[in-house]
């Protein structure tokens, strides 16, 4: 077993850390306050090559493997204090780009991937509905086959990037007659398609620079060429996107945790109470040590998913374990960081309150913690 990064991976990690720290953090307080999507930073990330990391070179990407991409996203999470931007980039990479890489026709790949990778287009993944969150099977969006295509009706919500997106990857059940089971089917829907509305931003507690909105279909006709994968392949496409998303989005959370630890170490050395730095108090040291343990354990869980992907193996349980562990550890670490900063941690003047608001999202999206435990239990045969 070799735990050493290659010289190229080390170089990439250092380059992403330096780029993110220098190029992506200006005016963060203002854009978090306004809930503004930093399109200029998005472009910078695309120009740096981040969006294209896992995409094959023939479609404008770098064709990197999943472990190398995970390492880069961890570095991005460390250097970029705008957790919303990191989240939006990841949402597009794993839940829009990679489904197109894995399931798209040559025409769909050529039409969408170069623009997504170059930052020209933004993509959103729309499966959740007001009445169907954890229980994705209970979606009510429907599509009907018509001459040369399909007509979609339904309402999607909580779609990350939707307010600024040029493209939605959306899911609806295809009715195939009363006697046949409904077939979940995926579609690539450009923003300017008649009958689709990309709604206004939904304000949220954290990740405020990552816009989120509804996508509504009203007798929306799409040609057959907009269907991603075969009819009925929707659940397969969704599950495979979630498997990789669970590992790779959470690399950003891991990087953010490492940054929190660095911030806390610096603060506890500087802040003095009772005549000494608070870093000298054992209960403070315990919190920092626990953060370090969680970072090291989380990293190997995430890298293991990348390694399994490289071997072409399934990683359903491993991805659920990694997502569950890292998201819960990040929430705990953020609350501990707040405690360590005392009253200052609660004030807007310090970044910690924003870090807490951002971190708490992780146990909700890509399947809640309860759903990850359910997946792990079912892999145990329960």
Q: Rounded to the nearest whole angstrom, what is the least distance from the CB of residue 322 to ligand FAD in the complex?
A: 17
Q: How far is the CB of 255 from ligand FAD (least distance, A)?
A: 17
CB neighbourhood size of 60 (10 A): 17
34 is catalytic: no
Binding residue (CB under 6 A) for ligand FAD from 71, 73, 113, 127: 127
Q: Is 180 exposed, middle or buried (0-12, 13-18, 19+ CB in 10 A)?
A: exposed
**Least distance from C-beta 375 to ligand FAD, angstroms?**
10
CB 215 within 8 A of CB 126: yes
Determine, following the binding rule CB under 6 A, whether residue 334 of this chain makes contact with ligand FAD.
no
Which of the stretches 24-32, 54-62, 100-108, 369-377 binds ligand FAD when contact is defined by CB under 6 A? 369-377
Q: Is 160 in the site for ligand FAD (CB under 6 A)?
A: yes
**Contact region for ligand FAD (CB under 6 A) — 18-26, 119-127, 309-317, 346-354?**
119-127
Sequence-ordered list of residues with C-beta below 8 angstroms from that of 96, at least 6 positions apart, any chain: 116, 123, 124, 125, 167, 169
Site for ligand FAD in 196-235 (CB under 6 A): 207
- Contacts of 28-33 spanning 24+ positions with Cβ under 8 A: 28/81, 28/82, 28/209, 28/351, 29/348, 29/354, 31/82, 31/208, 31/209, 32/82, 32/84, 32/208, 32/209, 32/354, 33/208
Q: How far is the CB of 292 from ligand FAD (least distance, A)?
A: 27
Smallest gap from Cβ 210 to ligand FAD, in A, equals 7
Active-site pick, 64, 245, 258, 353: 245
Nearest approach, Cβ of residue 157 and ligand FAD (Å): 7
Show contacts with ligand FAD in window 60-99 (CB under 6 A): 91
Residue with tokens 């294209």: 52
CA–CA dist 29, 34 (Å, integer): 9
Q: Using CB positions, name the residue nearest to ligand FAD.
A: 133
Q: Is 138 a binder of ligand FAD (CB under 6 A)?
A: no
Cβ-based neighbours of 115, under 8 Å, separated by 6 or more: 121, 166
Q: How far is CA 207 from the centre of its chain?
A: 11
Stretch that binds ligand FAD, among 50-58, 157-165, 250-258, 301-309 (CB under 6 A): 157-165
The DSSP bridge pattern shows strands 227-228 and 183-190 to be: antiparallel
Question: Tokens 């071997």 appear where?
Answer: 311
Told to check if 126 binds ligand FAD by CB under 6 A, we report yes
Count of positions on this chain that bind ligand FAD (CB under 6 A): 19
Binding-site member from 370, 377, 378, 379 for ligand FAD (CB under 6 A): 370
One of 28, 67, 73, 159 touching ligand FAD (CB under 6 A): 159
- Tokens 């005549």 locate to 275
* Residue 128 within binding range of ligand FAD, rule CB under 6 A: yes
CA 284 to chain CA mean position, Å:
31
In 280-351, where does DSSP find H-type helix? 282-310, 316-340, 342-346
Choosing from 35, 115, 133, 232, the residue that interacts with ligand FAD (CB under 6 A) is 133
Catalytically active residues, by annotation: 245
Residues near ligand FAD (CB under 6 A) are 91, 125-128, 133-134, 158-160, 207, 361, 364-365, 367-368, 370-371, 374
């Amino acid at each position: 077993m070799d735990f050493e990064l290659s010289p190229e991976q080390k170089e990439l990690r250092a380059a992403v850390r330096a780029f993110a720290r220098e190029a992506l953090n200006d005016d963060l307080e203002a854009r978090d306050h306004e809930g503004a999507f930093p399109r200029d930073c998005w472009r910078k990330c695309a120009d740096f090559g981040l969006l294209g990391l896992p995409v094959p070179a023939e479609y404008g990407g770098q064709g990197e493997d999943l472990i190398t991409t995970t390492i880069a996203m961890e570095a991005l999470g460390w250097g970029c204090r705008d957790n919303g931007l990191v989240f939006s980039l990841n949402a597009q990479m794993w839940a829009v780009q990679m489904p197109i890489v894995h399931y798209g026709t040559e025409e769909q790949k050529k039409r969408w991937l170069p623009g997504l990778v170059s930052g020209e287009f933004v993509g959103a993944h729309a499966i959740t509905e007001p009445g169907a969150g954890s229980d994705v099977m209970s979606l009510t969006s429907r599509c009907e086959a018509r001459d040369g295509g399909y007509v979609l009706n339904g309402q999607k919500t909580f779609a990350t990037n939707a307010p600024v997106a040029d493209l939605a990857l959306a899911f609806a059940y295809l009715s195939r007659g009363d006697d046949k089971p409904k077939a979940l089917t995926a579609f690539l829907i450009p923003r300017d398609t008649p009958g689709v509305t990309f709604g206004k931003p939904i304000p949220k507690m954290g990740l405020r620079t990552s816009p989120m909105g509804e996508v509504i279909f009203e007798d929306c006709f799409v040609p057959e060429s907009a269907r991603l994968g075969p009819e009925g392949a929707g659940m397969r496409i969704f599950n495979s996107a979630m498997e990789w998303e669970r590992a790779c989005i959470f690399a950003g959370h891991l990087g953010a945790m490492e940054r929190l630890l660095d911030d806390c170490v610096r603060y506890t050395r500087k802040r003095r109470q009772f005549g000494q730095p608070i870093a000298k108090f054992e209960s403070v040291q315990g919190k920092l040590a626990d953060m370090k343990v969680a970072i090291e354990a989380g990293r190997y869980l995430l890298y293991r998913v990348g390694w399994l992907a490289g071997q072409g193996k399934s990683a359903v349980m491993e991805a659920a374990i990694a997502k569950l562990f890292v998201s819960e550890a990040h929430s705990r670490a953020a609350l501990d960081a707040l405690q360590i900063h005392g009253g200052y941690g609660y004030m807007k003047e310090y970044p910690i309150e924003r870090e807490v608001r951002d971190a708490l999202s992780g146990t909700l999206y890509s399947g809640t913690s309860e759903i990850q435990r359910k997946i792990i239990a079912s892999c145990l045969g329960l």
